[in-house]
Chain A
Amino acid sequence: MPTPNDFSLQGKGALIVGAEHAVGRAAAVTLAEAGAKIVIASQEPGTDKQLKEVAKLVSSAGAKAVVRVQSAALRADASATADLAAKELGGLHILVNALDASAYGPAEAADDTAFDKIIESNLKTVWMSCQEGARVMLRAGGGVIVNITSVLAERGVPNAALYCAAKGAVLNLTRALALEWARKGIRLNAIQAGWLDDESSPANKDNEFSKTLRKYLPDNRLVKPEELGGALLYLVSPAAGFVTGESIAVDGALRARV
């Protein structure tokens, strides 16, 4: 049993939700490279163009991607997406939730609409995707789910109270669901991304915060979305059969300091 086979996803089907984001895009490519069949679904409607680009990357990685543009915040969409994935993939073995909508601003200025919006886009979407994915997986005897959250799940940062709250909730949602479904064949784990080098990251701007932050990072650089790939592949592969309710930070040692 040569080791690379421990991590092979040949014959597995994976659904990546939030594939229009840099992290979701990288996740789709990683799992395709490892041999999985792929369905990519969006977080927001109106993302046809982005998803088509991701589908192209997936196909360069050797897999055909089925594209599903949806609103991950709508129950009917989340439900139909899980069913579609199971049908297209011949069973939903792997679900990756790369759902995220970063939101920064002073707490005093946040109204109730902000609360609902931030919690819905960062937490409710993940909850519904887990529920609907698990509905399909439980029927088939199991599966594996990875929720991508942030190192902010366990640390605070100013001007992001609701975002931090939602990210922390995703982490603990992952733990609790992992325990609930542990004996039903579903493993759930999280990945906590450090400060990301992607288009939506506040760390990736030319400003004072970003400059100071880089000096503070243990290896002075941001995390590239594709660098989450190793942790993702390990967690979804059969090699991690005894790993559930766990979270892996990909942050270049940032969390070891704070």
Chain B
Amino acid sequence: MILDSLKLDDRVAIITGAGRGLGRAMAVKLAEAGADIVAAARTQAQLDETADAVKKTGRKCLIVPTDVTISAQVNALIDATLKEFGRIDILINNAGGGDGTLGKQLPDIGDDDWRRGIDTNLSSQFYGCRAVAPQMVKQQRGKIINVASGYGLRGGKHNFMYACAKGGTIQLTRSMALTYAQFNIQTNCIVPGIFPHNEEMMQFFKGGKFIPIGRVGDDSELGPLAVFLASDASNHINGELIAIDGGGLAGGITPTGVSPESSN
């Protein structure tokens, strides 16, 4: 029964970057689908809010304040989860951002800006995959979801660190998929389009005027995709990227919202 295969009853899911935005939206939706949640992020106060939202669904929420750029802390996150729940069914490597290179010209991007950005967006996901894989192999079951970006597939003017890190996320996903397919572990990638988190971003993206579908995404729309990729309904989908971007990557070579004139 297909709808039953989308349920996550009693699964245990770790979500990094769970203190806000897409991470919190995914945490709550996974909990609604039946999963207990381990919420990781740096800021305790934000995690508390996520935990409140998760607990309203009737599921448990363990908070583990974590700096995902430090591998020892990521290892500790896995250990804390095992201590509390005894297993890990789902890991969502969502934490990212923190781009100190934003708005800088190439010659002005310092080594530290570059390293911090790569650590936050890519190394963090590598640390998560590395730390969780042995447990999932032991279980002969697991789902890893890495959050990338359209910039993982396209270049951007003055966009170096972020495009490189997210491109790395996609390749990390593929190599994880191939390495662990035989252990019934599926690793896939969500590729979000434009999901503004404040009025300023909304203005910058002009409300989605240049997105084919004519609007921006809402955080709540990420949740069901995460549920699908965390569930048994996606058991033979592995190493795949799924864009949720209102058609952004399907076009991409022409400005959207306009089209060539009819030629006859």
Interface residues of A (CB under 8 A from B): 1-4, 6-8, 30, 33-34, 175, 178-180, 182-183, 187, 194, 218-220, 223-224, 227, 229-231, 233-234, 237, 239-246, 248-253, 255-257
Contact = CB atoms under 8 A, between A and B. Distances in A.
A246 B8 CA distance: 25
A227 to B, nearest CB: 4
A233 B233 contact: yes
B213 A182 contact: yes
Contact of A253 (B177, B193, B242, B251): B177
Given A218-B177, A256-B174, A250 B243 contact: no
Nearest to A224: B236
B196 to A, nearest CB: 13
Contact of A248 (B7, B175, B237, B249): B237
Contact of B2 (A224, A229, A241, A256): A229
A242 B177 contact: no
A89 B239 CA distance: 37
B159 to A, nearest CB: 22
14 contacts: A3-B8, A4-B3, A4-B33, A6-B227, A30-B2, A33-B2, A175-B251, A182-B214, A229-B2, A242-B221, A244-B250, A251-B240, A253-B240, A255-B240
A256 B227 CA distance: 22
A217 to B, nearest CB: 9
B250 A178 contact: yes
Interface of B: 1-3, 5-8, 29, 32-34, 173-175, 177-178, 181-182, 186, 193, 212-214, 217-218, 221, 223-225, 227-228, 231-240, 242-247, 249-251, 256-257, 259
B224 A250 contact: no
Contacts of B221: 239, 241-242
A58 to B, nearest CB: 13
A231 B232 CA distance: 11
A245 B247 contact: yes
Contacts, number: 164
A246 B234 contact: no
A240 B225 contact: yes
Q: Which of A3, A234, A237 has the most CB of B within 10 A?
A: A3
B3 A8 contact: yes
B182 A244 contact: no
A4 B231 CA distance: 11
Q: Which of A1, A183, A219, A255 has the most CB of B within 10 A?
A: A219
Contact of B239 (A187, A224, A255): A255
Given A7-B224, A33-B2, A239-B225, A252 B181 contact: yes
B250 A256 contact: no
A60 B249 CA distance: 39
A33 B250 contact: no
A33 B237 CA distance: 21
A220 B8 CA distance: 27
Nearest to B222: A242
Contacts of B6: 3-4, 7, 230, 233
Given A242-B217, A253-B181, A230 B233 contact: yes
Contacts of A1: 32
Given A6-B224, A234-B228, A182 B240 contact: no
B244 A242 contact: yes
Contacts of B174: 253, 256-257
A160 B7 CA distance: 40
Given A234-B233, A239-B224, A253-B181, 19 more contacts: A3-B33, A4-B33, A183-B212, A224-B236, A230-B231, A230-B234, A239-B221, A242-B244, A243-B243, A243-B246, A246-B242, A246-B245, A246-B249, A251-B240, A253-B238, A253-B240, A255-B239, A255-B240, A257-B178
B194 to A, nearest CB: 10
A46 B174 CA distance: 43
A34 B239 contact: no
B70 to A, nearest CB: 29
A256 B177 contact: yes
Contacts of B5: 230
